[in-house]
Amino acid sequence: MLIATGAGALLYLSFPPRTLWWLAPVAFALLGAVLRGVRARAGFGYGWLFGAGFLVPLLSWIGSFVGPAPWLVLCAFEALFLGLAGAGMALVSRLPGAPFWAAAVWIGGEALRSRIPFGGLPWGRAGFGQPDGPLLPVASIGGVPLLSFVTVLAGLALAEAIRRALRPVPGMSRRMAAAPALLVVLTLVAGPAASMVPVARTAPDRTVTIAAIQGNVPRLGLDFNAQRRAVLDNHVRVTLQLARDVAAGRQPKPDLVIWPENSSDIDPLRNADAAVEIDQAADTIGAPILVGAVLLNPDGKTTTNSALVWQPGIGPIERDDKRRVQPFGEYLPWRPFFSLFSSYAARAGYFVPGPGPGVVSMAGVQVGIAICWEIAFDDLVSDSVRAGATVLAVPSNNATFGLTEMTYQQLAMSQVRAVEHDRSVIVATTSGVSATITPDGTVTASTRQFAPGTLVDRTVLHSTTTLATRLRSVPEWVLTALGVVAVAVAVLGTRRGRVRPGSRPAGRTAQAGEDEDD
């Protein structure tokens, strides 16, 4: 139990802002050692403890302003999915090639957790912790699922290689004994090999200058929106300063400007004073601005979390609404029920999702938009790239969560998406960390947290199509199917073993020399 929980903590330590990516394979090696040969129910328990050891510290930022109860309840619930994965991994641990099947089972667990309930919570997938690791290029072939798979597989194969080295089985050939070690080597070279896979190019590359504005917020926490006008004023002020720097030759003139999510929570379509301020900023900088705004819908009750293209001299000309709104924050599912458990439930909004692929046109550039946590969802980002986006913008508002690791975890997702789709990514946040990211996942510039800042970047626009973009969710479904089939085979094998005369009781740990699967 201690090893399983500690392994989960090691997986947490492998995630940004630390660059200890190599701890992830170590964590899965320990988990694989714990799960090998145990019953499914024990595998579920060990998997749940692994999940708790991982998710409780990873998601600690959730409890920053809503208290420990909602945070711990969420972690306990999400750990159930890791428990299910642990049960499946335990079942397949005696099959030939067990590390491969167990890694596929893990991907099935991530796929399930990323979809249910209420649209799922993809935060904390194993691949999202690898932006600094050598396996990152694998994302360009099979997206986050394949990156997660090779990360988990490296750890499980390492555990099996060590086990066979420490406890050789009589009659086992050297080739069979060395197979897991060879698998570890092949997994580690997967990243460099993936970087050599060519991409399909549909148009020549070109370069534009993009500015990201971080205006900062006057106060942290759930009530930062109480000073909505101050947030808008901050972003206008920083944009006007950039215009002065451009006029003085200290900065290049941007072709387009990205403001963060919630940069104008005063609806500029209904409030003339807010529209006047944004007009001034756009006219002075002389470039279209992507403005994060909260817009009231015609029903007078619901709202949309939107990104408006504000054209100089014209005003708003295009709009993208957030396509996947956040449960328990932007809206409250089963509102009467969940309101019974926390006073914070009443503060959840009435946001509704919008349509479309998440692409707007700015100064002739097709900009794919992933508003805040949308960057965690494979299908949303793929839709934008498939719809023609040549650069990705991630307008976010992380001020609610204060000085936590949340913003770095989100930045890591943007780095992985850059590699997955071969696109530059511009991250603009209200309070940091804003960043510019090249298509190979490198962060070229970033801001400090809770300080105004401007990033002006000569951004390369790619019209390429990676294998991951073409395949979309196919790798995930294939790996999930393989995991399900492996579990079914293991269950059938266990049942047959129970009825076979003289068979060992199912689930009993094998003694030395009894590894018939070897």
Catalytic residues: 261, 322, 372
Q: Decide if 431 contacts 457 (C-beta within 8 A).
A: no
d(CA 384, CA 280): 30
d(CA 332, CA 454): 34
CA 4 to chain centroid, in Å, comes to 24
350, 355, 356, 360 alpha-carbon torsion, rounded to 10°: -40
Reported for 487-494, long-range contacts at CB under 8 A and 24+ positions apart, including other chains, are: 487/88, 487/91, 487/92, 487/105, 489/92, 489/95, 490/91, 490/92, 490/94, 490/95, 491/91, 493/94, 493/95, 494/91
The string of DSSP codes covering 341-378 is T-GGGGG--BB----S-SEEEETTEEEEE--GGGGG-H
Q: Which two three-digit tokens encode residue 219? A: 């106060």
> Which amino acid is present at 458?
R
d(CA 228, CA 10): 40
Contacts of 117 (CB under 8 A, 6+ apart): none
The string of DSSP codes covering 81-144 is HHHHHHHHHHHGGGSTTHHHHHHHHHHHHHHHHTTTTTT---TT-GGGG-TTSTTGGGHHHHHH
CA 75 to chain centroid, in Å, comes to 17
CA 76 to chain centroid, in Å, comes to 20
d(CA 234, CA 17): 27
CA distances 18 to 24, 133, 322, 410, 446, Å, are: 12, 12, 30, 13, 16
3-state secondary structure of 417: helix
124, 127, 132, 134 alpha-carbon torsion, rounded to 10°: 160
> Which amino acid is present at 285?
I
Residue 225's nearest CA partner among 276, 263, 277 is: 263
d(CA 111, CA 125): 9
Secondary structure percentages of the chain, helix, strand, coil, to 5: 50, 15, 35
Dihedrals phi, psi of 295, to nearest 5 degrees = -115, 135
